[in-house]
Structure 1
Amino acid sequence: MTQWTVHGTRRIYESEWMSVDLDDVEIPDGERFEHHVVRLPHPSTGVVVVDDDNVLLMWRHRFTTGTWGWEIPAGRCEANETVEAAAVRETEEETGYRVRVEPLITVNPLNGISSHTTHIFVGTGATKIGEPDPAEAAKVEWVPLSEIPAFIRKGLIPCGITLAALTTYLTLRTAGSEPPSGPHRAG
């Protein structure tokens, strides 16, 4: 087996949101060096909210990359919160819709430098209960799932979590391994 060995960890930065460590690692050929690792104290969630052939997306700006793009509702779990509860809460806060959630996939978006995990759910039964948080998105829209491949090709979905979630959902749907779709949303 070609597995790296961790001999120790030295924390170089820590906040309530994240820590950055230097791990003393040894690769299979015997070379040893320090490797940066970003660790987050809580997992994140994302939700592919669907209604028939539509998906609920948010158009938002990310200052970190200087880009605009479509994203699914997503966010981190709070302390002592289940990933399911966080998924429902984040969807409600960011879009104004309450949903039921079922697991879709779990991903490690930057597994070469981070231990962080994101749990992706499918949200169904969307019921509008309020307005979205204007700090989260410029607009929230129902987009036909048939438009998602063109959005991806045009670079309109730059978020890796959103790409993983939507392509997984569409792949399972196309392959006949139907992901959850649930009843129609109430308006």
Structure 2
Amino acid sequence: MTEWKTYGRRRVYESPWVELWLDDVEIPGVGRVDHHVVRMPKACTTAVVTDDAGRFLLLYRHRFITGQWGWEVPAGWAEPGEEPAAAAAREVEEETGWRPGRVEPLIGFNAMSGISTMRFHAFHMTGCTRIGEPADRSEASRVEWVAEEDVVELLAAGEVPEGASLAALSFFLGPYRSARRRRGSAG
């Protein structure tokens, strides 16, 4: 299959958080169509935060758009000129009241490749220090350290319905850990 060809684009809506465009594209075997594209002008960040006891720092919150309650990892936007790692650390502090010590890249992923430019930069954070209550109390109804076996159960039960949280936690618990074990045993 060949790549889609783009002939032009028209902005339909714009805000500081999201842009909606109609792209004039040619789809091989289909022809030319207007394709909706959601563009995100700011980088998206998320963080898997763990402690020395193997617990995960999670938020329990309601998302009005989907009408669902669920567990999530801290996440947010990078401001213009702000590095994604710094933005993720800032979001952890604002949303949880815990300041990360060590921040390391985990994975980058496209959240909705078929319709959006939304790309998440996920990080693993450790060595957190409690600095007080969350600065943004509207982010979650609860902030808790959750044991790893409980996180796995939450994932399996569909209690982590938000995509970035699901992807970051699943990647951390699976491929990331597996690769670290292989590197550790080889070195």
Normalised by the length of structure 1, the TM-score is 0.91
**Which of 111, 126, 139 is the matching residue for 1:124?**
126
2:59 is paired with a residue whose SS is strand
Q: Which residue matches 1:18?
A: 18
Question: 1:18-167 to 2 correspondence within 5 Å?
Answer: 18-29=18-29, 31-52=31-52, 53-99=54-100, 100-132=102-134, 133-167=136-170
Q: Which residue matches 1:184?
A: none
State the 1:72 CA deviation. 0.3
Q: Is the 8 A contact 2:46 2:120 kept in 1?
A: yes
Identity of aligned residues (%): 51
1:3 is paired with a residue whose SS is coil
What CA distance in whole angstroms lies between the structure 2 residues aligned with 1:4 and 1:139? 45
Normalised by the length of structure 2, the TM-score is 0.91
Structure 1 consecutive aligned stretches of length 4 or more whose deviation exceeds 2 Å = none
State the 1:176 CA deviation. 4.7
| Residue-pair matches, total | 178
What CA distance in whole angstroms lies between the structure 2 residues aligned with 1:64 and 1:106? 24
Of 61-70 and 141-150, the range deviating more from structure 2: 141-150
Alignment deviations for residues 28-62 of structure 1 (CA, whole Å, 9 cap, x no partner): 22511000000011111001001131100000010
Q: Which ranges in structure 2 are unaligned for 5 or more consecutive residues?
A: 182-187
1:69 is paired with a residue whose SS is strand
Q: Which amino acid aligns with 2:94?
A: E
Structure ranking higher in helix proportion = 2
What is the root-mean-square deviation of aligned Cα atoms in Å? 1.3
